[in-house]
Structure 1
């Protein structure tokens, strides 16, 4: 029997994208929930082998009931030492849960497009130097006390972190598929007018140049996050 992974999404049309596809190929079952639309979160991780919280247009600082509930809930996989992955908003929620700041850039700069990040000494086993990743965010997070920084960037220095043995927070979007990029560029095109954002043609050019490397990175990451020898019978 394959492992059961809890996926937390934040909008009705949101997709787990390439992350979901990669885990299905590894024999995992996806339990997709949308607390923003009323789905409950489990009281513990007994029925799940790992959890992923994805991104969304809201802020981890918002006073929304589901934001507060998800941020608090992250303590469950952390306490039980079950694999956890927070992507963009999910990583920011993880940082907030651990007491770190989630913030906007002082010059209101954003990252939207492909940007280089660099591995730290602790992240060299995971990241190329440099590693170009897809970004779509207006806020970043500080490194929480007790966490290990794995990759760093420019306008938003903390790009990847690990807490404990198996909890990871990412600022970037490894789940992105081409249809997802097209949708974001259409429905979120006003973001491209903000300082630091790349024009739409650079998003598509960056995908042609860097997507194969990012796809390979995701597979390498899952080898660390959910190693094959940990699979259930």
Structure 2
């Protein structure tokens, strides 16, 4: 089958638990780093699905790779290749679908309880609430025709579904090692960003085994649902020249 394309934008924001789920399903993978010079392809038909991870950049930044990613997403939407976006990736998907992405009055950093909308509970193993990790300054508006899946105290639009395409204004893919790297990378921001919407590094890293176990229950259900939409048929071999 065609590989799943993963676009990673920061060293500390890797595919994490999502990578484990994809490998459990035996899916071939291709990982690119557009921020390091990898060129996002323009054609999504070579992939069974496209994943976009988080970034310290804003979707409003005038960078060629950000614009090229949206061209890829537009092609994936036209071809029906499922897209899964986390945080920055969800904002890229929302913007490609015609929604605006705005700066929040305050950053949202730390662990949050989110509510699952009734229409989306089948995506999260029937859960009405879930725990998620957040680190973002921007938020998307709901794309036209999309269904809200998640909302929270610090953001009405925490997730959406548009057919097989899913956007998360949060991180369900986080791991213990990844969170520690992320906190080390963002230590200066955590030290100066105190307030009701920013947790300290100590708070973020406390009770990780219990928190990650809760996150993984919701993440595994959602990722399994998304994987179910991938085209897993074998790729036909091209005929050899006579």
Q: With structure 2 as the length reference, what TM-score do the two structures score?
A: 0.87
Q: Tell me, in whole angstroms, the C-alpha distance in 2 between the residues paired with 1:198 and 1:99.
A: 32
Matched, 1:40 2:39: yes
Match of 2:7 in 1: 8
- How far the C-alpha of 1:228 sits from its partner, in A, is 8.6
Match of 1:210 in 2: 211
RMSD over aligned Cα, in angstroms? 1.9
Which of 170, 174, 177 matches 1:179? 177
Q: Tell me, in whole angstroms, the C-alpha distance in 2 between the residues paired with 1:229 and 1:183.
A: 31
Unaligned runs of 5+ in 2: 235-242
- How far the C-alpha of 1:53 sits from its partner, in A, is 0.6
Aligned length: 229
Cα distance, 1:27–1:3 mapped onto 2, change above 3 Å: farther
- How far the C-alpha of 1:222 sits from its partner, in A, is 2.2
Q: Deviations over 1:11-38 (max 9, x none)?
A: 4565221111210121011101122222
Q: How does 1:128-207 map to 2 (within 5 A)?
A: 128-163=127-162, 165-192=163-190, 193-194=192-193, 195=195, 196-207=197-208
Match of 1:27 in 2: 26
Matched, 1:124 2:125: no
Q: Tell me, in whole angstroms, the C-alpha distance in 2 between the residues paired with 1:45 and 1:115.
A: 33
Secondary structure, aligned partner of 2:160: strand
- Quick check: 2:10–2:54 contact (8 Å CA) kept in 1? no
Q: Tell me, in whole angstroms, the C-alpha distance in 2 between the residues paired with 1:112 and 1:219.
A: 23
Matched, 1:223 2:227: no
Q: Tell me, in whole angstroms, the C-alpha distance in 2 between the residues paired with 1:13 and 1:210.
A: 19
- How far the C-alpha of 1:41 sits from its partner, in A, is 2.4
Q: With structure 1 as the length reference, what TM-score do the two structures score?
A: 0.90
Q: Tell me, in whole angstroms, the C-alpha distance in 2 between the residues paired with 1:206 and 1:110.
A: 23
- Quick check: 1:114–1:206 contact (8 Å CA) kept in 2? no
Q: Tell me, in whole angstroms, the C-alpha distance in 2 between the residues paired with 1:185 and 1:37.
A: 21
Secondary structure, aligned partner of 1:59: coil
- Quick check: 2:82–2:164 contact (8 Å CA) kept in 1? yes
